[in-house]
Amino acid sequence: MSHPGPYLFVAAGMQLATGLLFALVAPILGRARQALFPDAPVLRWLPHPTWLFAVVYFLKGGFLLLPSELWQLRPWPLRLACAASDVLIVLGIAQVRQILALTTTAAWHPERRWLGLNYAPALVLSAIALVLQMMPARPPILLALEIVVIGYVGVMGGAMLGYILRVARPGRWVPGGVGAPRLRDAVIWSAALAVLVAGLLFALSGHGAPLYPFFYAFAGLMFLAPVVAMTFAMVLRGLLFAISMVAATGAVYVAARVVGVRAEPALRPVIDLGAVLGLLFVLGPLQARLRAAIDWLVFRRTRRRAADLQAVAQTLSPELGAVECCRRALAGLDRVMGTRGSAIMFLDGAGVSHGGLTLDGVQAAWPDRAQAERLPVRVAAPEFGVLPEALHRALVEAEVLGMLAIASRRRRWGYLLVTTSPLGTVVTDDDVQALFAFADQLALVLDAADLLDRALTVERSLAHAEKLAAIGELAARIAHEIRNPITAARSLAQQLAHEPESPFAVEHGLILLELERVERQVASLLRFARREEFRFGRVDLGELVARTIADLRPRLDDAGIDVTLERAIGLTSRADAEKIRQVLVNLIENAIDALRSGAGSRRIDVDVSRRNGSAAIRVTDSGPGVPPDALGHLFEPFFSLKEHGTGLGLAIAKRTIDAHGGRIAAAAASPRGMSFEIELPLAGDRSETVEQATGGASA
């Protein structure tokens, strides 16, 4: 009986190695497919075609090792294996095309016509191959069948390349990026089809038949190259495990054979039993130990990843603050999981990163808070197509493996972003569950940090309020003590200023102005310190604003300021008319002071209208405005931008509006100036008309 030559052994080794790679990739792609399309009914029953191709390459590698006499006899098991090889190739190609159509076409479901056109040729070719291969004698038409099968593979391969080109993106391969094809994938798969067809043509020429198995194996390796590149860590892990298992099984077998040869015949049954038990140990408990050893040696990962992540979460203290907790959590995550880098993106676009993951591009593409809250809870790299296009590109460029929401029952904080190690990250089901638990624990820590921060803020506010109350009480006492002397000095200055032929009339007038200013400041301080009483009633805000502007008309005219009033007639609020008038006087006087110190046009626009279910009063001036960093302090007591201001006017205005259940806010006007807006609750739903007045105090 003649045996295969050396070159056939090499070709068989290449075929079997290719089949092993397909077998290692198949479960990886199966898990990715289930994660991507868990609800796709077709993909539930479709066997993964990678398994079919693994079986095909195992069969073809085995065929090369068979003696030539067996091929001449063609027993029925050999004929059945040959038929199975052709059938699996054809059906596998048809299934790959359907999977590519599902994964590259949004919201697509195959119709019966499409399924018929996709599977009918495959079924016809399978039936023909089964009939011809099961014949006892090898018919000459089998060569034509092989040509037809390869042609079918070429046509279907071209159709599949069309699907890939629709969604392929430029750039290099990203570990874990299965389902996100690159343009180089299309180039490599096109070359693989060309190699397959070229090998067949070379074999048909009569000179390259012995080399055809090499072409076939090389084409399979090219098809696998992009997938292996994106799942390298998982494939390497599986390959090392398979080699270790084969080596351990071979070692047990060889040891049993060596010991059995040298042992007494009576001991050989015991040795055989020991060999069986050894094989059971290799195929049983040793598997878990081998996987753990590979994870530790190659990826520096321990078996206690879930427990280690929990330990990291337990070291986080809310007293550290949210940002510092996130930094420590990311450092622990990278250490335990062996990732190259990780980050946390908060909903408002702020981010914290660790390791080799940079967030510049991701932060630039991050959506606003409302859109960020609607992002999926869990998004793996192959699913980034469901995200906004800009964010999709940024995550791919940052080589992010996946996003996981950090959310508690109170709120969603943001997303945990994870990259891979240089070899790629091995992610098992246990790892996914551990990451979910870690994200949940981190969310609880952030909740506690937020509550603690709020409690500290309230505590600081209360302490500040107590200090202000003490200062206010002291200031009120001092103001009462100095008010009477100031009043007496002011009366004396008035008498001196009105004396005829006084050589110090100018000086007396200056003294009088300064004493009046001090008296106004003392009055403001007393008003701020004492508890005010409010007399609420129905107030027509339009009329109140018009009367207030009319009262201030002399000062407005002296300063050369134009006033525009736009008011809604009949807009009423439940308010204290005098207190609201004092607020308006303060705002308009501030605007007058600002316009006096600025250049350009001098204008004040006042608008009274209904807005967002409330009555709104807006006072806008065309003055120089205030610095941006001062906007947040305008309503704080004793904060003033005026040279001789007390900083109490706007603080009193805010306290007054708050007592009415309203709101007052300041903002920079466009193109220049300041705008103050007051919102007060409405007192009724009377019909309103709009009246406009320009240039005067009232309309």
Residue corresponding to tokens 């250490």: 335
Coil/strand/helix, residue 422: coil
pLDDT at 696: 39
Higher-confidence position of 595 and 106: 595
Helix (H) or strand (E) holding 621: strand 614-621
Segment 247-275 mean pLDDT: 74
More confident residue, 187 or 285: 187
Which carries the bigger pLDDT value, residue 293 or residue 36? 293
The residues pairing with 539 across neighbouring beta strands, listed in sequence order, are: 573
Beta partners for 663? 679
Q: What is the structure's pLDDT at 345? A: 93
Residue pair 615/542 in contact (Cβ under 8 Å)? The answer is no
What mean pLDDT do residues 309-328 have? 88
In the predicted model, is pLDDT for residue 468 greater than 90? no
601: number of Cβ within 10 Å: 13
Task: Give me the pLDDT at residue 618, please.
Answer: 92
pLDDT of residue 606: 92
Contact 196, 208 (CB under 8 A): no
* Mean per-residue pLDDT over the chain, rounded: 78
Size of the chain in residues: 699
Tokens of 391: 């964010």
Contact 628, 613 (CB under 8 A): no
Contact 534, 576 (CB under 8 A): yes
Specify the pairing of strand 603-611 against strand 562-569.
parallel
H or E element that contains 374:
none
- Beta strand 663-668 pairing with 674-680: antiparallel
pLDDT tier for residue 39 given thresholds of 50, 70 and 90: low
Q: What confidence tier does 254 reach under pLDDT thresholds 50, 70, 90?
A: confident
pLDDT of residue 406: 92
Q: Each residue of 560-569: pLDDT tens digit?
A: 888 899 988 8
Query: Is residue 190 within 8 Å of 417, Cβ to Cβ?
Result: no
* pLDDT (average), residues 498-504: 65
Phi and psi (nearest 5°) for 550?
-65, -40
Per-residue pLDDT, 584: 92
Q: What is the pLDDT of residues 639-692, one digit of tens each?
A: 777 766 667 778 888 888 888 889 999 888 877 888 999 999 987 544 344 444
Gap between the Cα atoms of 429 and 529, Å rounded: 65
pLDDT at residue 689, rounded to an integer: 41
Percent of the chain with pLDDT over 90: 9
Of the given ranges (181-190, 210-219, 427-436, 572-581), which has the lowest mean pLDDT? 427-436
For residue 344, pLDDT beyond 90: yes
More confident residue, 377 or 642: 377
CB 419 within 8 A of CB 340: yes
Measured between alpha carbons, how far is 434 from 467 in angstroms, rounded to an integer? Answer: 49
pLDDT 10s digits, 613-638: 789 999 999 888 888 888 888 888 77
pLDDT at 415 over 90: yes
pLDDT for res 151? 80
> What pLDDT, on the 0 to 100 scale, is given for residue 693?
43
Place of tokens 């009232």: 698
Beta bridge partner(s), residue 415: 345, 405
| Residue 181: cis peptide before it, omega within 30 degrees of 0 | no
pLDDT at 449 over 50: yes
CA atoms lying within 13 Å on the CB side of residue 400:
31
Average confidence (pLDDT) over 461-480: 69
Q: Which residue has the higher pLDDT, 113 or 298?
A: 113
Average pLDDT over residues 340-357: 88
Please state which of the ranges 298-312, 315-329, 345-359, 380-394 shows the lowest mean pLDDT: 298-312
Average pLDDT over residues 135-144: 74
pTM of this structure: 0.52
- Which pLDDT score, from 0 to 100, does residue 580 have? 92
- Please say if the pLDDT value at position 535 is more than 60: yes
* Highest mean predicted confidence (pLDDT) among 381-390, 573-582, 650-659: 573-582
Of residues 693 and 15, the one with the higher pLDDT is 15
Q: Is the pLDDT of residue 136 over 60?
A: yes
| Alpha helices per DSSP H over 498-624 | 505-529, 541-551, 553-559, 577-597
Q: Are strands 562-569 and 689-694 parallel, antiparallel or unpaired?
A: antiparallel
pLDDT at position 592 over 50 = yes
Short-list 431, 349, 432, CA closest to 394: 349
CA 404 → CA 357, 372, 638, distances in Å?
Answer: 16, 12, 47
List the one residue out of 188, 196, 190 whose CA is nearest residue 213: 196
Strands (E), 282-422: 341-346, 351-355, 378-380, 402-407, 412-418
User: Mean per-residue pLDDT for 339-346?
Assistant: 88
* Predicted local confidence at residue 698, as pLDDT: 33
Residue 610 or residue 339, greater confidence: 610
- Cα(440)–Cα(437) distance, rounded to whole angstroms? 5
Gap between the Cα atoms of 333 and 505, Å rounded: 81
**Rounded CA gap, 541 and 347, in Å?**
40
Distance between CA atoms of 540 and 548, rounded to whole angstroms?
A: 12
Taking residue 177's Cβ as centre, other Cβ atoms within 10 Å add up to: 26
pLDDT of residue 608: 92
Give the span between the Cα atoms of 555 and 557, in whole angstroms. Answer: 5
Indicate whether 299 pLDDT > 90: no
Q: Report DSSP state, residue 426.
A: -
